[in-house]
Copies of this chain bind each other. A is one copy, B any other.
Amino acid sequence: MPEIPSKPILLSERSHQTRDLAISFLMQQGVENPDCLSLAAGLVDPLTLPVQDALQSASEVLSTEESGRKALQYGTTQGSLELRQLLLKHFESLEGKSASELGIDETQLVATTGSQQLLSLVCETLIDPGDICLVAGPTYFVFAGNLTGVGARTVTIPADENGMQPAALDAALEQIAERQELHRVKLIYVVSYYDNPSGVCVSTERRQQIVEIANKWSREHRILVLEDAAYRELQYDGEVHPSVWSFDETRESVIYTQTFSKTFSPGIRVGFGVLPKELVGPICDRKGNEDFGSANFNQHLVANALSTGRYHEHLQKVRQGYQLKRDAMLAAAEEYFSDIEGVSWVHPHGGLYVWMSLPKEISTGFQSDLFQAAVKNGVMYVPGELCYAGAIADRPKHQMRLSYGVLTEEGIREGMKRLASAVKSMDN
């Protein structure tokens, strides 16, 4: 039989829009340069991973045939009722109010494969090609990829150390309205606590303003705010901020999402959303098509960790560990970068990242002299330009996301020293 000549596969339009995450390049660099200290990796600190707690929870969930079988059987698309009830209690404690005061119940909660899946589901459920989503600059780059994947147009709103600037948000919406495109605006995306990548926390005043602006411009249809609170519980100091969600008195305008990946285990990968009532059906229908429910066993593990108090004990330890590493990175930044002209960085009160700006003439991208010099010095970072939505040409090129997630305090110090040396070598 003659060999059949291979014909090309025709991919979908969406597939062409879906780009490889830049993360892959970094991971490859990591593999090729095993001695490199990674200030790039967004992984959590292996020392924070709850091996004993997970074993204890697994043992309890699987301790009897009855409870074990419940966890090993199919669950529902929306997620385990027991978990959703516990998530609601957890959310009540974060918000400092009872569910009845908050005006929600567990039917508005959905369990997902990390908060990432909720972000993706929201895009699928709301956005048609050409629809508009407003995001901060910089913003979470994986979500920027989701927006590209569904063909959204993004409008970048400048952010400062207090987060997205409400006046700029309002002005952008006004411009869109003037262009008669308000009907295409679906979402305002806000990483509200210790942003990935910038580490900034949106100020309380701005949280309220963002909701008011969304409502103000919801003329014919509802412009939703998508609040990504992935880092909410990784707070080390500073002011405690109410959620953006809490300012939505109607409970109909803000989608809230959070995850246990950073505070417990990304390998268990349980996240959740708190949804406007009207969106529960469409989001669950979409999720039904994608996987008809995240792994039920994992939901039982997290429910067990929550109900036994094991999660909260673990969280204290995680916070203490990251706080020390945050301090180590800020101290190293002070020590090695404060004498470099034109360099500044954000002092985060939580999360995993320090955002550093270099003088504008120093590019930080993968192809830049600095990135090459850094790798040669044995250190890696995430180029800031990856952390913006929209056209590459329009993005700032002189910034870096520095993570204190995986390295030890000593590794952070050494990594920052190597990085500073690479930056200083750019003068020549």
Q: Please tell me which one of the listed residues B54, B116, B149, B220 contacts residue A68 in the complex, with CB atoms under 8 A apart.
A: B54
When distances are taken between beta carbons in the complex, the residues of chain B under 8 Å from A291 are 113-114, 116-117, 120, 269
A55 contact from B3, B68, B215, B300, Cβ within 8 A: B68
A4 engages B72 (CB within 8 Å): no
Interface size class on chain A is 35 or more
Evaluate contact between A72 and B221: CB separation under 8 angstroms.
Answer: no
Residues of the B chain whose Cβ atoms lie less than 8 Å from the Cβ of A54: 58, 62, 68, 72, 297
In A215-248, the 8 Å CB interface with B consists of 215, 218-222, 224
Which B residues are in CB contact (< 8 Å) with A12? 124-128, 131, 150
Q: Does A96 contact B (CB under 8 A)?
A: no
Chain B residues in 8 Å Cβ range of A72 = 49-51, 54, 265-268
CB-CB under 8 A from A50, the residues of chain B are 72
Stretch at the interface among A273-281, A362-370, A385-393: A273-281
Asked if A21 is an interface residue, CB under 8 A from chain B, the answer is yes
Give A residues with C-beta under 8 Å from B.
Answer: 1, 3-4, 6-15, 18-21, 23-24, 27, 43-44, 46, 49-52, 54-55, 58-59, 62, 64-65, 68-69, 71-77, 113-114, 116-117, 120, 124-128, 131, 142, 145-146, 149-150, 183, 186, 215, 218-222, 224, 249-250, 252, 261, 265-269, 276, 278-279, 281-282, 285-286, 288-298, 300
Cβ B128 vs Cβ A286 within 8 A: no
A282 touches B15 (CB 8 A): yes
In the complex, what's the smallest C-beta–C-beta distance from A156 to chain B, in angstroms? 20
Complex Cα distance, B124 from A150, in Å, reads 11
Q: Give bound CA distance, A120 to B14, whole Å.
A: 13
User: Distance (Å) between the CB of A209 and the closest chain B CB?
Assistant: 14
**5 pairs, CB–CB < 8 Å, chain A vs chain B:** A4-B215, A20-B288, A21-B292, A52-B62, A58-B58
Note all chain B residues with C-beta closer than 8 A to A281: 20
Please measure, in the bound complex, the distance between the C-alpha atom of A48 and the C-alpha atom of B250, giving whole angstroms.
46
Sample of 4 further A-B pairs with CB below 8 A, known A10-B186, A75-B267: A46-B69, A72-B267, A116-B290, A269-B295
* Residue from A20, A265, A289 with most neighbouring chain B CB atoms (10 Å): A289
Pick the residue among B1, B150, B296 that contacts A269 (CB under 8 A): B296
In the complex, the answer to whether B267 meets A296 with C-beta atoms within 8 Å is yes
Chain B nearest CB, measured from A10 CB (Å) = 5
Q: How far is the CA of A291 from the CA of B114 in the complex (A)?
A: 7
Task: Knowing A15-B124, A51-B72, say if A21 contacts B298 (CB, 8 Å).
Answer: no
A133 CB → nearest B CB, Å: 12
Select from chain B the residue with minimum beta-carbon distance to A183: B10
CB distance from A377 to the nearest CB of B (A): 26
**Bound-state Cα–Cα, A285 to B68, Å:** 34
Residues of B within 8 A of A9 (CB): 126, 221-222, 224, 276, 278-279
Residue in B10, B124, B296 whose CB lies within 8 Å of A266 = B296
**Residue in A62, A127, A220, A296 whose Cβ sees the most chain B Cβ within 10 Å:** A62
Q: How far is the CA of A278 from the CA of B286 in the complex (A)?
A: 27
**Contact pick for A285, options B19, B51, B224, B267, CB 8 Å:** B19
